[in-house]
């Protein structure tokens, strides 16, 4: 595995892991690479910055660390992609995952909730899933 620092046409910097340089080039040529901040697929390798800590007085400042605002934008965009590309099955997540796993229903992207016991059962059955924290919706009046 190899990690590359990437930059999109709008100057957003991010990193991505690839099997090798050839895989990066293939994904770039096929338009599979996408900026997690703005969605642009015009992505190139960036010069890798050297991360260092410099001491200013008694506090340390990390250079090259993304701001909280940038991290929030990345998370918000990822969450939007999840919502756009999955079906909400609510508390039926475990049963729907089992149906797809055993060929009862066609595979599709789903999201929902499961109890700890249901999660354990899915793992025992060899069903892969991952948990995503739910982002709270703020009332527009609060902004």
Q: Are 77 and 100 in contact (CB under 8 A)?
A: no
Tell me the CATH number at 74.
Answer: 2.20.28
pLDDT tens readout for residues 94-129? 999 999 999 999 999 999 999 999 999 999 999 998
Whether residues 8 and 72 fall in one domain: yes
Number of domains in the chain: 2
Q: Are residues 73 and 106 in the same domain?
A: no
Q: By residue range, what is the domain housing residue 96?
A: 86-129
Is 54 a member of any domain? no
Give the mean pLDDT of the chain.
82
Q: Is residue 138 part of a domain?
A: no
Is residue 56, in this structure, part of any structural domain at all? no
Any domain includes 71: yes
Least confident range of 24-38, 42-56, 101-115, 116-130: 42-56
In a domain, 134, yes or no: no
User: Do 9 and 37 sit in the same domain of this protein?
Assistant: yes
> pTM of whole model > 0.75?
no
pLDDT value of residue 134 = 74
């Amino acid at each position: 595995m190899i990690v590359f620092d990437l930059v999109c046409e709008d100057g957003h910097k991010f990193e991505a892991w690839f099997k090798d340089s050839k895989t990066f080039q293939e994904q770039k040529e096929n338009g599979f690479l996408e900026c997690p901040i703005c969605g642009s697929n015009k992505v190139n390798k960036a010069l890798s910055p050297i991360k260092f800590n410099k001491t200013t007085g008694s506090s340390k400042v990390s250079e090259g660390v993304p701001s909280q605002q940038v991290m929030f934008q990345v998370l918000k965009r990822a969450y939007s992609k999840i919502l756009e590309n999955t079906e909400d099955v609510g508390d039926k997540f475990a049963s729907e995952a089992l149906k797809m796993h055993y060929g009862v229903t066609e595979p599709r992207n789903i999201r929902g909730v499961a109890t700890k016991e249901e999660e354990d059962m899915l793992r025992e059955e060899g069903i892969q899933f991952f948990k995503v924290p739910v982002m709270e919706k703020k009332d527009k009046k609060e902004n």
